[in-house]
Structure 1
């Protein structure tokens, strides 16, 4: 009799914990940490298709700055972005885009960007837009004005200076949150928050559907 009561107690406790967790998830309140209005743009993606700010509106998107000739953080960032997409796939989410702005547009033609992306196992390539089709001065000014981040081609060498953040942009074209897009093993405090990004995107999508 005591064994049955103990078993019932354990089952009830587990159900209570699950209920609390589910309730916490459903009541998650997304809080923007930034408010950057993205400037209008017209660019070409790795498929040769025209992409504008207006064409991205209507659903959230997550952005990063990379270039294919990068020998440091860009490949890890792209890999991390593919992991974020895997999290989104697990949640069954479809209403989002992934945008990568090339900071070396002279080298990064659509063909080069397409070849670059093929090195990565991405769950759904159709959601990606690796962008080019502008000059160096434009991307440096665009990054600073729209995302408050530095992009700079050095006078010596070909390794463009740029940040490693991921930016969450809402359905209205406003960047509302940024995350670490790259982390080194010894710097675990800046680990890429894959689950947080996925939950934030899910919340924006759900909030958008309620409007």
Structure 2
């Protein structure tokens, strides 16, 4: 066989081999994309199994009037138009409160810019006698500059906490000192201002962000 014919045959063989390899790679990539895009979203039952409880029927709140850490009024209307993650705690808390606030800050870092713009995070104090707006203004921005501290009249805060299913009780320590035992869940209010879901501790910021995205994407617009 002439050399030119051999070279032509070799080139055809190489092209055939390359075409087959390209086809195989394309199939592998296509299967991976299909697997990712077809992976079912987290539904209410799957979320519950992983520590996030979403109510079948979100719960309305009683109107309230409180104040934020800037000394501005904070009412139930401030829960409307955005998603709100709220943690009920207090600034003298030695462990669970600062840890949870730090985890919420890290969770915010897992969100897209668009989702961040539609999210607010609250620390609602259960200790208004000590947690004045000035105290909250020193404490809350330490975790994230956009976080909001909320305080006000004790009975209003108590009703707000009760409606969010956050149990708490004052515990007397030595002398006149005291602490507060309280639930550690993070509460989620939807853009209509309704109590929509809650996240159980312990928290993993990346997992929490994934659950939050699933909940917000499933919300009817």
Q: Which residue of 2 aligns with 1:105?
A: 128
Q: Is 1:196 matched with 2:215? A: no
Instruction: Write the distance in 1 (CA, Å) between the matches of 2:151 and 2:66.
Output: 6
Tell me, yes or no, if the aligned pair for 1:41 and 1:53 is still in contact at 8 Å. yes
Instruction: Write the distance in 1 (CA, Å) between the matches of 2:29 and 2:111.
Output: 27
Instruction: Write the distance in 1 (CA, Å) between the matches of 2:214 and 2:188.
Output: 8
Counterparts of 1:46-61 in structure 2, within 5 Å, are 46-61=69-84
The offset of 1:48, in angstroms, is 1.5
* Unmatched segments (≥5 aa) in structure 2: 1-15, 45-52
The equivalent position to 2:67 in structure 1, one of 36, 41, 44, is 44
Instruction: Write the distance in 2 (CA, Å) between the matches of 1:72 and 1:49.
Output: 28
* Unmatched segments (≥5 aa) in structure 1: 184-189
Counterparts of 1:32-181 in structure 2, within 5 Å, are 33-34=54-55, 35-89=58-112, 92-120=115-143, 122=144, 125-126=145-146, 128-135=147-154, 137-144=155-162, 146-156=163-173, 157-180=177-200
Q: Is 1:18 matched with 2:30? A: no
Instruction: Write the distance in 2 (CA, Å) between the matches of 1:142 and 1:198.
Output: 22
Instruction: Write the distance in 2 (CA, Å) between the matches of 1:92 and 1:155.
Output: 41
TM-score by length of 1: 0.77
Instruction: Write the distance in 1 (CA, Å) between the matches of 2:118 and 2:141.
Output: 23
TM-score by length of 2: 0.74
CA deviations 1:126-185 (Å, max 9, x no partner) are 3x22100222x44333312x11220111244522111111111111222221112x42xx
Tell me, yes or no, if the aligned pair for 1:60 and 1:171 is still in contact at 8 Å. yes
Tell me, yes or no, if the aligned pair for 1:61 and 1:97 is still in contact at 8 Å. yes
Instruction: Write the distance in 1 (CA, Å) between the matches of 2:183 and 2:18.
Output: 59
Instruction: Write the distance in 2 (CA, Å) between the matches of 1:2 and 1:91.
Output: 46
Report the 3-state secondary structure (helix = DSSP H, G, I; strand = E; otherwise coil) of the residue aligned with 2:110: helix
Tell me, yes or no, if the aligned pair for 2:140 and 2:148 is still in contact at 8 Å. no
The offset of 1:110, in angstroms, is 1.3
Instruction: Write the distance in 1 (CA, Å) between the matches of 2:30 and 2:99.
Output: 39
With over 3 angstroms needed to count, the CA separation of the structure-2 counterparts of 1:12 and 1:195, relative to structure 1, is farther
The offset of 1:117, in angstroms, is 2.2
The offset of 1:7, in angstroms, is 4.5
Instruction: Write the distance in 2 (CA, Å) between the matches of 1:55 and 1:141.
Output: 17
Report the 3-state secondary structure (helix = DSSP H, G, I; strand = E; otherwise coil) of the residue aligned with 2:62: coil
Q: Which residue of 2 aligns with 1:186?
A: none
Higher strand content, 1 or 2: 2
Instruction: Write the distance in 2 (CA, Å) between the matches of 1:134 and 1:30.
Output: 38
